[in-house]
Amino acid sequence: MDSEMLNSSVQDFWIGMVLTIRAFRPDDIRDVCRIEEESFRDPWPCYMFTYLHMKNPESIKVAVIDGRLVGYVVVDVETRRGKKVGHILNLAVEQGFRRMGIGRALMEEAISYVRRSGADEVWLEVRDSNIAARKFYSSMGFVEKGRIHRYYRDEDAIIMYKEIE
Ligand SMILES: CC(C)(COP(=O)(O)OP(=O)(O)OC[C@H]1O[C@@H](n2cnc3c(N)ncnc32)[C@H](O)[C@@H]1OP(=O)(O)O)[C@@H](O)C(=O)NCCC(=O)NCCS
C-alpha cells in the first residue's frame, strides 16, 4: 500500500458512489480553485493553495466522488501561547454536492490530522453572515467563542472552537 492510500479514507457514500478523502495533489489545483471561486465572494488566489501545500503537504485534504473532486479543507497546526492548536483555514464543497455529508467527512479528516499532530483543540473563523457555515460548524460540536471586528474586508468574523479527545 502506498503512503497516499495509508493517508486516505474511503467510505460507501450513496448507492453506487464512493467518497474518498485524500491529500491534495498539485494537479487538483484547477478543481479546487473552481470550487473556491464559486463558493466565496473574496476567493483565495490559487497560489495560496499551492503555497500551503508546499509548506505542509498534509494541510489540504480533498473529497472525491467517483473521480470528481467535490470539496476541500485546509488545516494548520499552530503554536499559541506554547500550546499546539488546530486551525481550519478554509473549507468548501461544490454547490451541487452540499448537504450530503461531504463537509462533515472533510472536517472529520482535518480534526483527525490535528489530533495526530498532538493538539486537543481546533479553532476557526467564519463570516458573521454565513449562517449555513455557522450551523454546519455547530452541528459538528463547535461553539462560538467571540468575534473579531472587521476580520474580513467588509465584515466581522465569529470565532468558533471545539475541544477534541
Ligand atoms: C459549509 C459547507 C462546507 C458545509 O458542507 P456540506 O457538505 O454541505 O455539509 P454536510 O452535508 O456535511 O452537513 C452536515 C450538517 O451541517 C448542517 N448544515 C450544513 N449545511 C447547512 C445549511 N445550509 N443550513 C443549515 N444547516 C446546515 C446540518 O446539520 C447538516 O446535517 P444534515 O444535512 O443531516 O441536516 C458548505 O455549505 C459550503 O461549501 N459552503 C460555502 C463555503 C463556506 O461557507 N465555507 C465555510 C467557510 S468558514
Which is nearest to 101 in space by CA: 5, 2, 21, 16? Answer: 21
Nearest-atom number in ligand 1 for the CA of 92 is 39
**Domain interval for residue 15:** 3-163
* CA 51 to chain centroid: 16
Confirm or reject: Cβ of 157 under 6 Å from ligand 1: no
Share of the chain above pLDDT 90, in %: 88
* Count of structural domains within the chain: 1
Q: Read off the pLDDT of residues 39-92 as tens digits, 9 standing for 90 and up.
A: 999 999 999 999 999 999 999 999 999 999 999 999 999 999 999 999 999 999
43 lines ligand 1 (CB under 6 A): no
CATH number, position 54:
3.40.630.30
Instruction: Answer yes or no: pTM beyond 0.85.
Output: yes
Question: Which atom of ligand 1 is the closest one to the Cα of 126?
Answer: 48
